[in-house]
Amino acid sequence: MLIAFSGWSDAGEGATGALNHLMNVWSDSSPEIIPELIADVDPEDFYDFQVNRPRVYTDETSTRNISWPTTKVYGITLAHFDRDLVVVVGEEPSMHWKSFTQEILNLADDLEVSMIVTVGSLLADIPHSRPISVGITAANSITAERFNVEISSYEGPTGILGVIHCECLRRGIDGVALWAPVPHYASGAPSPKVALSLIRALEDLLAISIPQDELEIASDAWENEIDNLAREDNDVADYVKALEESKDALDIPEISGEMIAKEFERYLRRKRKD
């Protein structure tokens, strides 16, 4: 089960952008892979409509309707993967988080979900012009060892994703969290580069191939746009340069055979799918 919510854990719309891309791109490139809506959450108990306001729209018959904030659950069957995927996307609930989490994980139990993967993005002091490194953590040592990831050491304010992971731990469900940093000075618009980094992290974690050509094009265009904006302001340009120098100094030790091996594995997965 892959989970992302807009709001607190979705800086630059990176997390929801990644899962929406995942669903849309498979529908477009593989007609047999169509996400099926299998459940949605009744918003009445979980959303403050003064915070997440419903939207009025006119449908194809010129009839007025209301779209309510909610969370939707989709099922995806992949012939080339040994498991089905369940994708949960929506707006972070405003209230009754314990009940909301129980509802989502009860559904996960009913669907015999074996692993929960949450996807988030957060503001950070990083340059937009460098590769974005996704942090991958687990809540306990057993899960961390199984998937060869770090154990989460975060302490502090949390969102609904943190609550979900605590409940996964209580129920004995493997839980893994993906977090991508977003340049704080470029977070006012959706960031396809952040979404792309999360898609690639999902590829590596699940050992599957996800088409991403459109996202790569959008990522390059976004980076070029930020480049142009930075050049128009000397202070911003100097700040970005300082971030680049700091990032480059930290990344030198990370250039290793393991990184090259991951890129090669990703290439082979795509070739096998073709």
The pLDDT-based confidence of 257 (bands split at 50, 70, 90) is: low
Q: Give the chain's domains with CATH numbers.
A: 2-273 (3.40.50.10900)
For the chain, percent of residues with pLDDT exceeding 70: 89
- Looking at 82-159, list the stretches that DSSP marks H as alpha helix, in order from N- to C-terminal side: 97-110, 141-147
User: Distance between CA 185 and CA 157 in Å, rounded?
Assistant: 22
pLDDT above 80: residue 271: no
36-50 pLDDT, tens digit each:
999 999 999 999 999
Strand order in the sheet with 115-124: 36-40, 71-76, 85-91, 2-6, 115-124, 174-183, 135-138, 150-151
The pLDDT-based confidence of 247 (bands split at 50, 70, 90) is: confident
Name the CA dihedral angle for 254, 120, 218, 1, rounded to a multiple of 10 degrees: 100
2-20 pLDDT, tens digit each:
999 999 999 999 999 999 9
User: Distance between CA 25 and CA 33 in Å, rounded?
Assistant: 10
